[in-house]
């Protein structure tokens, strides 16, 4: 069977904005360099991609591509209403699974801002919100990520963006971290900041590991799971209205009761090789996908 086609066109250049300079300096403190990043070749993107084509661009990691069957990126981004002309903020992109698709998709007519932060008390180089390997790729692949903009967002940087400037704010598998006290975050303060950043009627899209509805919610979410009803109440308290739910990320095999919480399952495999076949058969965590609209 032939491989899926790779989308390529000539690269572009873009002036470095003040906010980009600021985050470049911050990324440099992670100790990333072109050599450490493996001098990755700068992939390029095509004009006017569909969501389906955005999953096939050259900059995508093979490890992430292998996870598409569990994460259903095309269906999820379509559910959230992301269009090629959307102004999108992705909060805490981690290893870049979604960024690798959003950057080329929004390349021509839209805007992608990555909201990143170093949590309070964490040493430099251990940024929770942006994986060091991906940080290196962002800075050494201008053709793929040169139009991406940045914002600092977390306990010390609570204002996400200028009021009323974003069409869509997305965050994937992060809400449980925001309510964990070890992160020193005020989840309501963060959600209200997202509310301010969105345009009237703007959309907040959230995916996270779904906790067992038959069990009480751990208010600290130490297992990485959060009940869907608990998440909805939390977000609506900040001035949003739930306008859609999706079972795109459903996994009925996930019982949400493992020795090391959600990190027992793939792709983390917190137990290493112990019972690996068992957890591999379960697959990635059961996840809720929630769509909220800014009201007020």
pLDDT digits (tens, 9 = 90+) for 55-73: 999 889 999 999 999 999 9
Looking at the DSSP assignment, which residues form a beta bridge with residue 207? 172, 289
CB 255 within 8 A of CB 165: no
Residue 71 lies in a domain: yes
Identify the CA nearest to 207 among candidates 237, 177, 183, 186. 177
Identify the CA nearest to 85 among candidates 107, 65, 109. 109
> In terms of residues, how long is the chain?
296
Q: How far apart are CA 28 and CA 32, in angstroms?
A: 6
Residue 5 lies in a domain: no
The CATH number that applies at residue 258 is 3.40.50.150
Residue 7 lies in a domain: no
Q: How far apart are CA 170 and CA 178, in angstroms?
A: 14
Domain hosting residue 191, numbered range: 18-294
Q: In this predicted structure, what is the pLDDT of residue 261?
A: 97
Distances in Å between the Cα of 136 and the Cα atoms of 11, 38, 237, 270, 289 are 18, 9, 37, 25, 29
Residue 13 lies in a domain: no
Using a 10 angstrom Cβ sphere, with 0-12 exposed, 13-18 middle and 19 or more buried, the burial of residue 181 is exposed
Helices (H) and strands (E) in the chain, counts: 12, 7
Residue 12 lies in a domain: no
Q: How many domains does the chain have?
A: 1
Reduced to 3 states (helix: H, G, I; strand: E, B; else coil), residue 242 is: strand
CB 252 within 8 A of CB 213: no
Residue 10 lies in a domain: no
CB 150 within 8 A of CB 19: yes
Q: Tokens standing for 145?
A: 């990520």
Using a 10 angstrom Cβ sphere, with 0-12 exposed, 13-18 middle and 19 or more buried, the burial of residue 133 is middle
Q: In this predicted structure, what is the pLDDT of residue 118?
A: 66
Identify the CA nearest to 40 among candidates 109, 122, 141, 115. 141
Q: In this predicted structure, what is the pLDDT of residue 3?
A: 38
Q: In this predicted structure, what is the pLDDT of residue 159?
A: 95
Residue 50 lies in a domain: yes
Peptide bond into 237 cis (omega under 30): no
Q: In this predicted structure, what is the pLDDT of residue 5?
A: 36
Per-run averaged pLDDT (10 residues), the chain, 296 residues: 35 36 51 34 60 93 96 98 98 95 95 83 62 83 90 89 98 95 91 98 98 93 97 98 98 96 97 97 98 95
Identify the CA nearest to 268 among candidates 67, 59, 116. 67
Residue 143 lies in a domain: yes
pLDDT tens profile 148-182 = 999 999 888 899 999 999 999 999 999 999 999 88
């Amino acid at each position: 069977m032939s491989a899926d086609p790779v989308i390529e066109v000539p690269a572009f250049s873009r002036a470095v904005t003040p906010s980009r300079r600021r985050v470049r300096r911050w990324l440099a403190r992670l100790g990333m360099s072109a050599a450490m990043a493996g001098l990755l070749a700068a992939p390029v993107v095509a004009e006017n991609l569909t969501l389906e084509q955005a999953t096939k661009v050259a900059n995508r990691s093979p490890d992430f591509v292998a996870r598409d069957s569990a994460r259903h990126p095309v269906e999820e981004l379509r559910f959230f209403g992301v269009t090629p002309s959307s102004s999108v903020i992705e909060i805490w992109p981690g290893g870049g699974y979604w960024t690798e698709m959003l950057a080329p998709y929004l390349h021509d007519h839209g805007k992608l801002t990555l909201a990143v932060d170093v949590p309070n008390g964490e040493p430099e180089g251990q940024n929770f919100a942006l994986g060091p390997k991906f940080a290196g790729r962002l800075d050494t692949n201008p053709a793929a990520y040169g139009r991406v903009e940045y914002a600092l967002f977390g306990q010390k940087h609570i204002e996400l963006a200028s009021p009323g400037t974003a069409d869509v704010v997305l965050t994937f598998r992060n809400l449980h971290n925001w309510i964990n006290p070890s992160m020193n975050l005020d989840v309501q303060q963060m959600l209200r900041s997202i509310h301010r950043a969105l345009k009237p009627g703007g959309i907040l899209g959230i995916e996270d590991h779904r906790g067992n509805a038959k069990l009480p919610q751990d208010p600290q979410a130490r297992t990485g799971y959060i009940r869907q009803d608990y998440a909805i109440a939390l977000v609506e308290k900040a001035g949003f209205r739930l306008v859609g739910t999706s079972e795109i990320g459903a996994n009925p095999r996930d019982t949400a009761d493992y020795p090391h919480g959600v990190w027992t399952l793939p792709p983390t495999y917190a137990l290493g090789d112990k019972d690996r076949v068992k957890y591999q058969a379960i697959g990635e965590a059961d996840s809720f996908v929630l769509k909220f609209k800014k009201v007020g």
